[in-house]
Structure 1
Amino acid sequence: MSVSLQVIYPIKDGTTFNYDYYVETHLPLVGEHMGKYIQSTLVTKGVAGGPNVPPGIYAIATIVFADKQAMDAALGAAGPVLADIPNFTNSEPQMLIGDVIG
């Protein structure tokens, strides 16, 4: 069964997020270190939390793996990716790991 890893970057007072760095440097770093284990990725930039509501999230990165073993291997190679996070945000990322059901 496919599994997904979602990395969620919440907006809180005093936090920042550098989208240019994230797209131009961090995402290629993900590909370099974890790419051979990844089935697909989707990154969504938060633009609103609803009609006339500011976003509560900078971005959500969804990474899909063929199975738990592939995800575990990717996470084992993720050291440089995790170390890079402070280079584009001071937001505390949240993670959700789940089974892909739809």
Structure 2
Amino acid sequence: MKFKLILSFLLLTTCFAAFSQAKPSEKSKTHNMTANEKGLIKVSILYPYAEGKTFNMEYYETKHMPMVAGFLGANLVKYTIEKGLSAGAPDQPLPFMAIGTFYVKSLSEYRAAIAPNIDAIRADFANYTNAIPEIFVSEVVK
């Protein structure tokens, strides 16, 4: 029991230290930032890290994400691009190489914009990654 408590404390302090020292990267991209995101739909595209998987961040940042953002039109509030650096716990594998996120006003409008372009979006994957992305859709509550 005491060992678990010490391990939990170490994990918590390590995570706190990692997040409190993190500085925003000059390369991270945010477009059309809004002060209040509550109620927006957040579509996160997560690229899992695994042995042998690759990711071309420059292509993703300059070609793929702007292409998809263009399909979304006025429904898009902003998008972000994140580069994976480490796991939350020490000596753990990186969970994701990258995460792309679109903040949109309407999920139905997002789906309507993506549907006719899905083949072009998927075909472009080969230009920047050999990983299969996971998609998580959520609503911003705060």
Q: TM-score, normalised by structure 1?
A: 0.84
Which structure's residues are more often helix, by fraction? 2
Q: CA-to-partner distance for each residue in 1:27-83, whole Å, 9 max, x for gaps? A: 221122224331111111111113644522111111111122222223224322222
Aligned to 1:49: 87
Q: Which has the higher strand share?
A: 1
Higher gyration radius (CA)? 2
Tell me the number of residue pairs that the alignment of Structure 1 and Structure 2 aligns: 102
**TM-score (ref. length: structure 2):** 0.63
Aligned to 1:88: 128
Higher relative contact order (CA 8 A, sep 6+): 1
**Residue in structure 1 matched with residue 103 of structure 2 by the alignment:** 64
Counterpart of 1:7 (choices 41, 45, 48) is 45
Residues 61, 81 of structure 2: 8 Å contact kept? no
Distance 1:66 1:55 in 2: 31
Question: Percent identity of the aligned residues?
Answer: 27
RMSD: 1.8
**Which blocks of at least 5 consecutive residues in structure 1 are unaligned?**
none
Structure 2 gaps of 5+ residues are 1-38
Q: Which residue of 2 aligns with 1:26?
A: 64
